[in-house]
Structure 1
Amino acid sequence: MIPSLDSIFARLRLRQLRLLIELDRCGSLHKAAEAMAISQPGATKALREVEEILGVPLFVRQPSGLVANDAGRCVVRYARLIHSDLGHLRDEMLGIVQGQGGHLAVGSIMGAMPMLVGALGRLRRKQAQLSVEIAENTSANLLEQLDEGRLDLAICRPGVGRNTSDYVFMELAQEPLAVVAHPQHPLASAQALEIGDLSHYRWIVYPANMPMRQALERELNEAGVEVPRYPLETSSTFATFMLLEEDPTLVAVIPSAVAAFAEQRGLLVSLAVRLRALSEPFGVVHRVGSPLSHAAQLLVEELLTP
């Protein structure tokens, strides 16, 4: 039987939560104890105490080491959120004492990165001592990092998450798409193209089931063109640029804002193929019940300012 909230609050200690995080990371009581500078018997005792407080076992022993069970993964996720919130508390208090500063961890999908960089530039001119950690990834991975407390907020699509009601969403923009290639691609100078004209070229695509991949496959299907059988899959902007540089016959779909940035610098060209925007807009996302830090609130203001 799961104990009451008052019982958990009275008995559970922050150091015990830190042990659960280290156990999940290390998979070993010995390594977790080393990370926390405590003895292994002390770590074993602390784990037993947490399991007794919560009334359920949290880890199982497997050949690979200690592995969290379903209950353990749930507790570890909330332990990380609490750890992250305490980090925000310290950073915000430090900012108050020093008059400015703080730390901000923000994630972004590729297409929103130009918007994020612009907003961060404006914010850092006002808060010069602000420390910022930036992660670029898919919406699904960014939502996982939000759930684990690794990010303060993300600019992505909450629709790919397991439960959209877990998130606060503030819409920012639609995401037009562009077909791009190396400046020496055979079709680089063509004035008008249909997507079927690219059927003989190999594609660089986003991973399966991601919105940008689905948008490309929709366009190909509607044009009666076979979906690429052997694409190069990556969610990395840099990898996409490097692959186009290495093989000038490749083509890729990326957000128009990123394409414009790269085209201005001579890294690639946008081919004369019209694609529709993604059906779901992107925006600022953070978890329900996790108040934004002062620095995160300031960034949101910059993002929402026309």
Structure 2
Amino acid sequence: MLDTWSLRVLAEVAEHGSFSAAADALTMTQPAVSRQIAALERRAGVRLFHRHPRGVVPTAAGELAIGEAREILGRLAALEARLGAYAQLRGGQVRLSAFPSANTAFVPAAIRRFSAAHPGVEVGLVRGGPGDVRSGAVDVALVTDWDLPGDGVELVPLLDEEHRVALPTGHRLAGRTTVALRDLRGETWIEGGHPDCLGPLTALTRALGGPPRVGFVCDDWTGKQALVAAGMGVTVVSTLAAAAIRPDVVLRPTSPALPRRRLLAAVAPRDRRTPAAAAMLTVLTSLAVGYR
């Protein structure tokens, strides 16, 4: 099998027109270059150069071999350059998945910060979860401890989210600094998609004397806020979504306090993690500090 060094020697001999000049360019001796070409000819079973007193001239077979050698060497050089850019975050991509409340402000801020630091890396926000991290389809997946994945991914804690009740500004309880959950027993509740839902908040069920009376289901945070603002019901809002709350909706802590929800980043183990995924994890970890 031909090796890349032999191809480079072949290309240099063709470029310089003699074994001695190629030897100088390659920091080799002239006999070593001659032996390398002779070995190539034996392997190929055909003469590649006509030897003359003042140099060498490629044969027809040699012209073919030289063209192929230059193309292969060029492609290898391009591959090395691309891998170098990938390792040094001058190129490549990172694919991030999240859930709606994380996408209101936290994820856009992370993408903006990452792109400013690594403009050559393409960032994609895609649908997926921890299973897609295991398969390699997603590089970083934001998840909560309400729905932890199995083996095959590493979970990095980012922050513990608080939950507050969202009320329209004109609500009878909006002026209070803390809202007693028992005072919400007669309210209509607005449910959302997992994990942006009323969720495993058993304290809420206990305080209400039973499950919340759900009148509306809306997965979209914009729609949920609009329903609250219109006085159609109340809902629970996490720390991440609170950053994007509209002005005609107020958030109030509750008594008793609703349990917190942990936000984590699911990533591949270190030995399989891409440089871009590691860099995105650093950005997410740094950004989460501001939410604590």
Query: What TM-score does the superposition give when structure 2 sets the normalisation length?
Result: 0.58
Equivalent residue for 2:198?
A: 213
Provide the C-alpha distance between the structure 1 equivalents of 2:164 and 2:251, rounded to a whole number of angstroms.
6
Query: What residue number does 2:232 align with?
Result: 249
Whether 1:124 aligns to 2:110 is no
Query: Are residues 1:168 and 2:154 paired?
Result: yes
Listed one character per residue, the Cα deviations across residues 7-63 of structure 1 (whole Å, up to 9, x for unaligned) are xxxxxxxxxxxxxxxxxxxxxxxxxxxxxxxxxxxxxxxxxxxxxxxxxxxxxxxxx
Aligned to 2:236, the other structure's residue is in SS state strand
Which ranges of structure 2 fall in alignment gaps of 5 or more residues? 1-78
Offset of 1:154 from its aligned partner? 0.8
Q: Give the aligned partner of residue 227 of structure 1.
A: 211
1:300 aligns with 2:281: yes
Residue 13 (structure 2) aligns with: none
Aligned to 2:184: 198
Q: Which of 61, 78, 95 is matched with 1:105 structurally?
A: 95
Q: Is the 8 A contact 1:186 1:249 kept in 2?
A: no
Matched to 2:225, the amino acid is F
Cα displacement (A) at 1:199: 1.8
Q: 1:260 to 1:159 in 2, by over 3 A?
A: closer
Does the 8 Å contact 1:158/1:285 carry over to 2? no
1:277-288 mapped onto 2 (5 Å cutoff): 277-278=259-260, 281-288=262-269
Deviation (angstroms), 1:109? 3.3
Distance 1:293 1:110 in 2: 25
Q: Deviations over 1:113-170 (max 9, x none)?
A: 444333322221112243222247xxxx623443554321112136625x52222111
Query: Separation in 2 of the partners of 1:207 and 1:99?
Result: 35
Distance 1:233 1:269 in 2: 20
Query: By percentage of residues, which structure has more helix?
Result: 1
Q: Deviations over 1:47-100 (max 9, x none)?
A: xxxxxxxxxxxxxxxxxxxxxxxxxxxxxxxxxxxxxxxxxx9xx749449972
Aligned-pair CA distance for 1:273: 2.3
1:48-63 paired onto structure 2 within 5 Å = none
1:169-195 Cα shifts (integer Å, max 9, x gaps): 111111111111233334322344211
Partner amino acid, structure 2, of 1:151: V
Count residues with an aligned counterpart.
Answer: 206
- Aligned 8 A contact 2:169 2:250 in 1: yes
SS at match of 2:264: strand
- Counterpart of 2:137, as a letter, is R
Larger Rg: 2
Letter in 2 for 1:271: R
Q: Percent identity?
A: 17
Name the residue aligned to 2:244: 261
Cα pair 1:212 1:278 within 8 Å, conserved:
no
Query: Which residue type is aligned with residue 233 of structure 1?
Result: V
For the residue of structure 2 that corresponds to 1:146, the secondary structure is helix
With over 3 angstroms needed to count, the CA separation of the structure-2 counterparts of 1:270 and 1:142, relative to structure 1, is same
Q: Please give the root-mean-square deviation of Cα atoms over the aligned residues, in Å.
A: 3.4
Q: Gaps (5+ residues) in structure 1? A: 1-88
Structure 1 residues 97, 230: CA separation in 2 closer, same or farther (over 3 Å shift)? closer
| Structure 1 SS opposite 2:151 | helix
Is the contact between residue 190 and residue 233 of structure 2 (CA under 8 Å) also seen in structure 1?
yes
